[in-house]
A and B are shown apart, each in its own frame.
Chain A
Amino acid sequence: MKIGRVAGTVVSTISHPIYDARRLLLCDLLDADGEDAGGYLICVDTIGAGAGETVLIIDEGNSARQVVGDLNAPIRAVIVGIVDELQVEGDARQV
């Protein structure tokens, strides 16, 4: 799993039917310190994450398909949690 920060919402009218009624969020990837790691992912939101929040992302197809409940879904990245705090080597960091 990866840690990211929600940077925005991807608005798409024409898409594969599996994306109908699902929110797509553009998430910047973070490192273990909560700092920007440079990359990004477009993720399906399953929990109602909002802009600026630090989130937990699954970037693996089989897990993502289980989360969305469709074993043929062409979805790879899914937001599965909102991160409150990171603890790295004993140092707690609110994110």
Chain B
Amino acid sequence: MLLAEVTGTVVASVKYQGLEGVRFLIVQPLDRDRHPQGRQVVAADAVSMAGPGELVYIVGSREAALAMPEPFVPVDHAVVGIVDHVERPS
């Protein structure tokens, strides 16, 4: 699982079966210092609450589909949590 920042939303009215009602977000994966790392990807929103500007954590590959209500869907990245903050010992 990696950190990412939500940068946008994707609106798709026609989707594969099982994806009805699923929100899609554009996310920018981040490195540990929260700098952009790699290309932006479209991720399904498994928490249904994430929005642009938020720091989230994402899963990829098979685990992304498992995060969805219907686990056999063509999803390769999913937002599985919204980060409140990261506690680092001083």
Contacts and interface: CB of A to CB of B under 8 A. Distances in A.
Whether chain B is bound by chain A comes out as yes
Interface of A: 7-16, 18-19, 24, 26, 28, 39-43, 51-52, 61, 64, 72-77
Nearest to A43: B1
B63 A11 contact: no
A27 B20 CA distance: 35
B88 to A, nearest CB: 4
Where chain B touches its partner, the secondary structure class is mixed
B84 A26 contact: no
B63 A16 contact: no
Contacts of B3: 42
Contacts of B85: 11
B55 to A, nearest CB: 10
A7 B59 contact: no
Contacts of A76: 1, 59-61, 63
Nearest to A50: B89
B14 to A, nearest CB: 25
Nearest to B48: A14
Given A16-B81, A41-B1, A76-B59, A8 B66 contact: no
6 shortest interchain CB distances as A-B pairs: A15-B81, A74-B67, A8-B88, A42-B1, A40-B32, A12-B81
Contact of B89 (A18, A51, A72): A51
Given A9-B87, A14-B47, A74 B78 contact: yes
